[in-house]
Amino acid sequence: MQFITTRGAGQPVSAARAICLGLAGDGGLFVPEQFPSVDLHQALAQPDYPALAAFILEQFLTDYDPAFLRQTVRQVYGEAFGEGTAPLHKAGDGMYSLELWHGPTCAFKDFALQLMPRLLVEAKRMLGDSSTTAILVATSGDTGKAALAGYCDVPGVTITVFYPSHGTSEVQRLQMTTQQGENVAVYAVQGNFDDAQTGVKRVFSDPDVAKQLGAKGVQLSSANSINWGRLVPQIVYYFHAYSQLVRSGALKAGEKADFCVPTGNFGDILAGWYAKQMGLPVGKLICASNKNDVLTEFFATGVYNARRPFYRTTSPSMDILVSSNLERLLYHMAGAEKVKGWMKQLFETGSYEVEPEVMERIRADFGAACADDETAAAQIRSLFEEQGYLCDPHTAVAFSAARRNKGDAPMVVLSTASPFKFPKDVLAALGQPLPEDEFEAMAALAQYAGQPAPQALACLRSLPERFSTTIRPDALRDVVLGE
């Protein structure tokens, strides 16, 4: 399997090379040259999550030793996730919640970012690359901690995370600023996630930065979902969810299931579309957005307009106006030349418009809906009161969108973070008294809901903060170069 850039420049590269580079030299994103077709019954016959993960990864990472992949996924998903890798819970008539937050940092990003460091180290070994890999990460909340945890003290790798100042929950912030490890660094960036992400992309595309780092034996890479190594592990849990539906009798093998995904950078939902291209019987993929509804507008009108008001919401991981992975979908639907033109327009004017015939193909697979904070809060409360099910604000946004788009097929909502990451917002949605202190709120939520807060979150209160520097968006280059 070879990988090519969404903007058409350069030669195809191996999976190992794509994972090492992160972003293509022309600023585009790596995508597979073709989609492997899998036998559904063979996929459903895999005995557990690690076996299924190896089965899917082997279809794309064809230059990796299958024995390495099988051993690695069993170590990763066994050690980091325990018994409950991605449980599927019924949450109403024909509605299901796929809980993806039972890993070490209590967010769905763990599925990729516990595995990706091992894929990177093996890729460097395969390529004979002895350079230091400098991982740069822009995060809207969850990616930062998951990446820091995954890459902590990995030999030959440094990782620097940039998060928006005042743009994450307090728990998310503390998860990053208390991170241990000799090879990690964390900076708050003045502005929002798009400011941080744009700064990181500019560093990647700056030839002078590459030249200066290269002279020091340093190669840049990314742990954001712009890196193919982030996307491919996420394909697995769509197959896993479908397998659980079949085993529970909710549908028969070959019947379609719909999925609703709380969406910011478009990577998680794109993984579902990739699963569909491989042969998984996916009906509709519903893109759920919060008040930052740039994607909802795009699916409705074909116009992507990033020059719009930015809102801070109770679902901060979705507070994004430039959804990078949409570029990958546009490439598959319209090709590199179109993508180059649209991305140029986005950079120069902040918007672009996709032709009706392309949008018709996109809408055949995707739907979209948005929910503001008040709607999400109402959804948290109704789910708990009616179903006894507790969810976080991002998942609540998705449940709201899912209910409005529910058809005859089972609807699986991807639950992307533990509700205890956002204890104040969840408590407020449940109509409960609100303590001033974040950790008192966490304890109050645990008592009211009758379920314990994850220890990985509760322990943050006692950990010292190691990182407190705030920088301007235009200072990322200096940070990376050590100036």
With the CA atoms of 349, 361, 33 and 238 taken in that order, what torsion angle do they form, in degrees rounded to the nearest 10? 100
Q: Is 109 in the active site?
A: yes
Q: Is 413 helix (H, G, I), strand (E, B) or coil?
A: strand
**CA distances from residue 172 to 131, 167, 438 in whole angstroms, order as listed:** 31, 10, 11
Q: What is the pLDDT along the chain (483 residues), one digit of tens a residue?
A: 999 999 998 899 999 999 999 889 888 999 999 999 999 999 999 999 999 999 999 999 999 999 999 999 999 998 778 666 899 999 999 999 999 999 999 999 999 999 999 999 999 999 999 999 999 999 887 889 999 999 999 999 999 999 999 888 899 999 999 999 999 999 999 999 889 988 998 998 899 999 999 999 999 988 888 899 999 999 999 999 999 999 999 999 999 999 999 999 999 999 999 999 999 999 999 999 999 999 999 999 999 999 999 999 999 999 999 999 999 999 999 999 999 999 999 999 999 999 999 999 999 999 999 999 999 999 999 999 999 999 999 999 999 999 999 999 999 999 999 999 999 999 999 999 999 999 999 999 999 999 999 999 999 999 999 999 999 999 999 999 987
Read off the DSSP letter of residue 369: E
Distance CA 448, CA 427 (A): 9
128, two tokens: 């004979």
What phi, psi does 278 have (nearest 5°)?
-80, -10
- Tell me which of 109, 145, 201, 424 is the catalytic residue: 109
Distance CA 396, CA 329 (A): 25
Distance CA 8, CA 331 (A): 10
Task: Collect all residues with Cβ–Cβ distance below 8 Å to 189 and sequence separation of at least 6.
Answer: 162, 163, 164, 165, 195, 196, 199, 470, 471, 472, 473, 476
